[in-house]
Amino acid sequence: MEKRIIARGAIAGIVAGLVAFVFARIFAEPRIQDAIDYESGRDEAQHALDRAAGIVVGEHGHGHELFSRTIQGNIGIGIGMVAFGLAMGALFAVAYAVCLGRVGNVRPRTLALLLAGGGFLAIYGVPFLKYPANPPAVGHEETIGQRSAYYLIMVLASVLFMILAVILGQRLRARFGTWNASLLAGAAFVVATGVLMALLPNFGELSSNVAEYGRHATETPQPLKNEAGNIVFPGFDADLLYEFRLYALGAQLLLWTVLGLVFAPLAERLLGNRPVRVEPVRETTPA
């Protein structure tokens, strides 16, 4: 049974990845290209300022690209989204098999939708609130390792808090009822994640530019100025940053929504339309 559930999760994940790819290709990819164009233009302006100031700079350029931007923006992002969808689909199916019959009288279709919503919140939604996605040109190179580590901590902690919240809700259900127990467990999840977010640093605070911009340093490139204080190249477009993050969030929301909607009928067809419960194991004593 578990293998059949995981197979259906993989199928749903592939479909979800394809749908998310189409969305990302139409909406997010142009914003990525705009960010790359900004980064290239800013590098050119910085090198021009360095040469005017007599600063010796190395040969400008990012080196030979193994894959062109056309391949990266089409085949690359497509393979990436489908592979991610497949991985999340398999992981989703495993979690579904574990939860099946252990979270109360929930129909297979309803459980799939609830689990998809929880997966989106824990794996992407909550970490996004603390560390939102950034396009190229946003973020300092010296903080890549730290940013990746803190983001991973946020994801793992969010998943752990979600699991603990579900366990807490199940234990409180007999005393407070399903509705009140769900509210209490949800409140505990919000408090735990809020405390962790307050303790973890912002990405801007990891930068060496803190001394220049203060504690609330930003990783968003500021306007580039010459020695006279005149702006020679604008700062990163706030609208571009907003649109990129909006579309990145939308792609993930679409992926998890499609994953739940595709998997739900597949699971219901496999398991039936009735709530599934795990029968307690009865210990037998030798005669």
| Model confidence pLDDT, tens digit, residues 35-68 | 999 988 988 988 888 887 777 655 545 555 666 6
Nearest to 74 by CA among 104, 35, 29: 29
pLDDT of residue 30: 92
- Does the pLDDT of residue 143 top 80, yes or no? no
**Above 80 in pLDDT, residue 174?**
yes
Average pLDDT, the chain: 85
Which pLDDT value is given to residue 1?
77
- Torsion 117-28-79-22 (CA) sign: positive
**pLDDT value at position 28?**
92
At 283, is the pLDDT very low, low, confident or very high (cuts 50, 70, 90)? Answer: very low
Residues 235-254 pLDDT 10s: 999 999 999 999 999 999 99
Out of 104-118, 129-143, 179-193, 219-233, the most confident range is 179-193
